[in-house]
Amino acid sequence: MPAKKPVTRNSVLAKTIDTSVYNLEIALDKANKSVTARSAESKKLLNLSRRLRKRRSTLMNKKKRAVAADRRTSTADSRKLIRSITSELNATKKQLDKTTTARQAVLEELSGLKASQKMLNGYVKGIYATDLAIERAQKKKRPRRK
Task: Categorize the per-residue pLDDT at 10 as very low, low, confident or very high, splitting at 50, 70 and 90.
Answer: confident
Helix, strand, coil distribution of the chain in percent, nearest 5 = 85, 0, 15
Note the pLDDT tens digit of each residue in 124-134: 999 999 988 88
User: Residue 107 in contact with residue 42, Cβ under 8 Å?
Assistant: yes
Checking if the pLDDT of 89 tops 90, the result is: yes
The arithmetic mean of pLDDT across residues 35-49, rounded, is 97
The confidence score (pLDDT) of residue 18 equals 92
Pairwise CA distance, residues 30 & 26, whole Å: 6
The arithmetic mean of pLDDT across residues 65-88, rounded, is 94
Pairwise CA distance, residues 20 & 26, whole Å: 10
The DSSP element (H or E) to which 71 belongs, if any, is helix 10-72
The confidence score (pLDDT) of residue 116 equals 95
